[in-house]
Structure 1
Amino acid sequence: MARSRRPWLLALSLASACVMTASACAPGAGGSGAGGKPTVEFWSMPFWIGQDDKVKELVDEFNKSQNEVKVNLTLLEWKDGRDKIKQATAAGNGPDVWLMNNGLELDYLKAGAIAPLDKLGYTTADTEKFLDLADVNKYEDKFYGAPLYFDVGVMLYRTDILKKYGFSKPPATWDELKSTSSAITTKSAAAGDKVHGWQFKGMDDHVNAINSTWESFLCQAGGSLTSSDYSESAQDSEAGRTAMNYMRSFYDDKTSPVGTSALNGFIDGKVAMFPFFQSVIAGVEAAGAKTKGKWAVAPMPEGPKSGCSMVGGHSLVASSKSDDLKSAGAFMKWLASPERSVRYMDFHAIYPYDSQQVDPASKKAYEAKIAGAPQWIPILQQLGRNSPELVLQDRHAWATRWEAQKSSVVAGVNGQMSVDDALKSIDDQVDKALSAEK
């Protein structure tokens, strides 16, 4: 699609020049596809977990399914894909449609860079089918992102290890989590084959994961990321101290190890339990015989105030500057449709629609997926505990917050920094970013 090439997204304060590499910045959406069909440029990271080629297969399927629109796919890497999209969009030669985290990014929204769904062919009847959590994609009372799927933080546990040390069910509260994991660590060490009862995802092989882990425990303690008007950071609070001191206690008493991968330790039988988004199940299942029949999923242990957890997942958004919003919307409605979303459940993605509101064929397919995998029961139970509010708070100064939490939460939990100093450090950094938003 032809569109202006001027750097129109100045409000993002991003690089104005595109990184011109084959995988990063296509020449832009220009002209028509084969046979004069409108062309939609779609940039995406491989959101189908465990099978990077699936996104291309889906785009090819769409192109073969109709003769009105041609979609060109630029597949990016997770390590820098978001940055490449921002750079290209700021320079005026970004994609028509792209992948974005649920909750969306405030800079794009404030700059008017994303088209609301009602400009893309979505009706009220369409958006009423979304789960209530889809409100994370609202801004000023309009939807701007079409959810592909949701993630929620859950707990994975080794059924064989818990049974070995006398536990017939997973812990349901913070107190039970602490006593169960401590007992497993102590008893296994005494037997000469130490197993750590618990590990916090993000304190090990994937530091970025500490953000979702921390925000889940903060929520369970009754805490907030920001004030109710999103103007001030609110982590330096009693709830923040409760959450961080609780997490720190696992390291103080050596229940949790420093430097041990939660996922790899779980697969190898050296970590009994850990929390993360349910999509990590794909990694557990990929371990084959090491884990088959030896693990299960449970809702997050409830904290002092609730059993909530962080919400994640991805959505599709479209450029407000696209010359053909109708074609962009047609592709989005296909890729993020109830029919396709059922298929994303194959990598344990949470269906973003109310199954009672979709067409009978999609409802039947959804129910078959649920019936065929018992882990969906606790996942859906956890889904019901969560609201959009934590994600809406996280939208404000999120980039600064996530960098601040990666360093300060880890330091506060493992004892390199006092809990008070860690929380103050987060608030100090985030408050500066929030002030810049005003």
Structure 2
Amino acid sequence: MASLRRRLAAAALASAFVAAASSCASSGSGGSSEAGGRTTVKFWSMPFWIGQDTKVKQLVDDFNASQTKVTVEFTQLEWKDGRDKIKQAIAAGNGPDVWLMNNGLELDYLKAGALAPLDKLGYTAKDTENFLPLAKIDEYNGKMYGVPLYFDVDVMLYRTDILQQYGYTAPPKTWDELKSMAAGITTKSAAAGKKVSGWQFKGMDDHLNAINSTWESFLCQAGGSLTSADFKTSTLNSEAGKTAMEYMKSFYTDKISPTGTSALNGFISGDVAMFPFFQSVIANVQAGNEKTKDKWAVAPMPTGPKSGCSMVGGHSLVARADGKNLNAAGTFMKWLASPERSADYMQFHAIFPYQRDKVAPEIQSKVNAWLSSDPNWNAIFEQLGRNTPDLVLQDRHAFQTRWDAQKANIVAGVNGQMPVDKALKTIDDTVGQALSNEK
């Protein structure tokens, strides 16, 4: 039933996008409105400030208090269905003027011309040149359509207390070291009477969706890609894909990691020694309070056969192309995604999306204060420097189909329910059909 609803919503969205693309920018039904001399902008967002669900509303309130010409009406959505609600509202001809979208953006919106390019929202070349080079993930056909709030990168989190307990003085730096160290911790702890899993892949647990970022990180490290260079062919069933999945599978075949154990919850409770995920999960680890205080740290991802790259995530703001007042939408986007606000997002370990030498001195000081307050930032920025926009630009194509197919088949291949080559071929066949429909 849920799948059917998604197909129907997708069909309605496609129809709406065709209509939007063929209409004048000023004639859309979902644009800003005038009220009491102020232009009203509708903003829909999930609570991106991790650990504080009321923070986004507070930010909107702060913006409204600072303005005389623009008012933002805020609707907070839930992560579980917020993206679908936005799509359905846009497809129905209403919904928000500005909304939250994954970095990399969604191809359906871009192909239909449903998003306003930043140069139509008041952004200049100087504004966009100040972003980190990774901001290229929000470009399409030479124009930028999303303004990044912050970036995420997959890193490795490890329990310093557990590693020290079993004789390890530093985190692993390579795949071989990771496998050896994780096996040592699992074996030694079991012999001592309280088994601790040396490693868990995020996504082989209660947060299945995380297998996508985990898998794509290890595929990247093996030298693989999601698609061909022209985005027309799915390329997981390759030597690199097999290398990555066989490596991940070996943790379960060799009894190092138990399928089904929560990576995050196990890490907080001390039942998992190491796991990978976006660095913003630090906010959840810190919420463990005394269970985790002064007992963990962050390291760059262990390097694989080809590199130490990892998946890039985070969120951007976008605006609808048929909005009645794009300047007002741009005013709000510039404020919420400004260097000043982005520096504040570092409170939940979001990565500052601007080049530090291109922002005002007072913002540089704020960013530097966050960096000096936590040594984990060194590892996060080392990982950031290893990453490129390539995977995210590939992931944009057949995104939902790929992520659904990977959730089912990567887990099945890694835990031994399906042969590795069959799991990879199944994904390629499923995603390949979706890619052919994009032509």
Residue of 11, 14, 18 corresponding to 1:12: 14
C-alpha distance in 2 between matches for 1:334 and 1:15: 28
> Aligned residue for 1:375?
376
> Aligned residue for 1:24?
none
> Aligned residue for 1:243?
244
SS at match of 1:384: helix
Give the CA deviation at 1:13: 5.3
C-alpha distance in 1 between matches for 2:192 and 2:123: 61
Give the CA deviation at 1:115: 0.3
TM-score (norm 1): 0.94
SS at match of 2:364: helix
> Aligned residue for 1:32?
34
> Aligned residue for 1:397?
398
**Where do residues 88-103 of structure 1 align in structure 2 (5 Å cutoff)?**
88-103=89-104
Residue identity in the other structure for 2:130: K
SS at match of 2:33: coil
Identify if the C-alpha distance between structure 1 residues 14 and 226 changes in structure 2 by more than 3 Å, giving closer, same or farther: farther
> Aligned residue for 2:151?
150
C-alpha distance in 2 between matches for 1:294 and 1:70: 45
C-alpha distance in 2 between matches for 1:242 and 1:338: 41
Give the CA deviation at 1:15: 11
C-alpha distance in 2 between matches for 1:70 and 1:288: 38
**8 Å contact 2:31–2:324 — kept in the other structure?**
no
Aligned pair 1:276/2:277, yes or no? yes
Residue identity in the other structure for 2:167: G
SS at match of 1:49: coil
Q: Give deviations 1:234-272, integer Å, cap 9, x for gaps.
A: 000000000000000000011001111000100111100
> Aligned residue for 1:122?
123
C-alpha distance in 2 between matches for 1:194 and 1:298: 23
Identify if the C-alpha distance between structure 1 residues 167 and 308 changes in structure 2 by more than 3 Å, giving closer, same or farther: same
**8 Å contact 1:149–1:350 — kept in the other structure?**
yes
Residue identity in the other structure for 1:194: K
Aligned pair 1:181/2:179, yes or no? no
Give the CA deviation at 1:14: 7.6
SS at match of 1:222: coil
**8 Å contact 1:15–1:87 — kept in the other structure?**
no
Give the CA deviation at 1:92: 1.1
TM-score (norm 2): 0.94
> Aligned residue for 1:407?
408
Residue identity in the other structure for 2:67: Q
> Aligned residue for 2:365?
364
> Aligned residue for 2:88?
87
Q: Give deviations 1:152-195, integer Å, cap 9, x for gaps.
A: 00000000000011100000000000000000000111111110
Residue identity in the other structure for 2:119: D
SS at match of 1:99: strand
> Aligned residue for 1:42?
43
**8 Å contact 2:204–2:211 — kept in the other structure?**
yes
C-alpha distance in 2 between matches for 1:134 and 1:69: 27
> Aligned residue for 2:4?
none
Residue identity in the other structure for 2:406: Q
C-alpha distance in 2 between matches for 1:168 and 1:317: 45
> Structure 2: 5+ residue runs without aligned partners?
1-8, 19-28
**Where do residues 187-206 of structure 1 align in structure 2 (5 Å cutoff)?**
187-206=188-207
C-alpha distance in 1 between matches for 2:265 and 2:226: 30
Give the CA deviation at 1:360: 1.0
Q: Give deviations 1:398-420, integer Å, cap 9, x for gaps.
A: 10000000000000000000001
Aligned pair 1:169/2:190, yes or no? no
Q: Give deviations 1:25-83, integer Å, cap 9, x for gaps.
A: xx9556323x2211000000000001010000000000001101000001111111000
C-alpha distance in 1 between matches for 2:351 and 2:13: 33
> Aligned residue for 1:22?
none
> Aligned residue for 1:300?
301
Give the CA deviation at 1:397: 0.2
C-alpha distance in 1 between matches for 2:388 and 2:296: 28
Give the CA deviation at 1:205: 1.0
Q: Give deviations 1:78-100, integer Å, cap 9, x for gaps.
A: 11100010011111102100000
Aligned pair 1:290/2:291, yes or no? yes
> Which one is further off, 348-357 or 87-96?
87-96
Identify if the C-alpha distance between structure 1 residues 11 and 284 changes in structure 2 by more than 3 Å, giving closer, same or farther: closer
C-alpha distance in 2 between matches for 1:200 and 1:128: 36
> Structure 1: 5+ residue runs without aligned partners?
1-6, 17-26
SS at match of 1:234: coil
C-alpha distance in 1 between matches for 2:107 and 2:407: 21
Identity %: 70
Residue identity in the other structure for 1:402: W
**Where do residues 99-118 of structure 1 align in structure 2 (5 Å cutoff)?**
99-118=100-119
C-alpha distance in 2 between matches for 1:416 and 1:39: 53
C-alpha distance in 2 between matches for 1:101 and 1:315: 6
**8 Å contact 1:105–1:395 — kept in the other structure?**
yes
Residue identity in the other structure for 1:409: I
RMSD: 1.5
**8 Å contact 1:14–1:86 — kept in the other structure?**
no
Aligned pair 1:138/2:139, yes or no? yes
C-alpha distance in 1 between matches for 2:109 and 2:303: 35
> Aligned residue for 1:215?
216
**8 Å contact 2:33–2:41 — kept in the other structure?**
no
> Aligned residue for 1:350?
351
Residue identity in the other structure for 1:413: V
> Aligned residue for 2:65?
64
> Aligned residue for 2:430?
429
C-alpha distance in 1 between matches for 2:17 and 2:203: 29
Structure (1/2) with the larger helix percentage:
2
Q: Give deviations 1:182-213, integer Å, cap 9, x for gaps.
A: 00000111111110000000000100000000
Identify if the C-alpha distance between structure 1 residues 303 and 199 changes in structure 2 by more than 3 Å, giving closer, same or farther: same
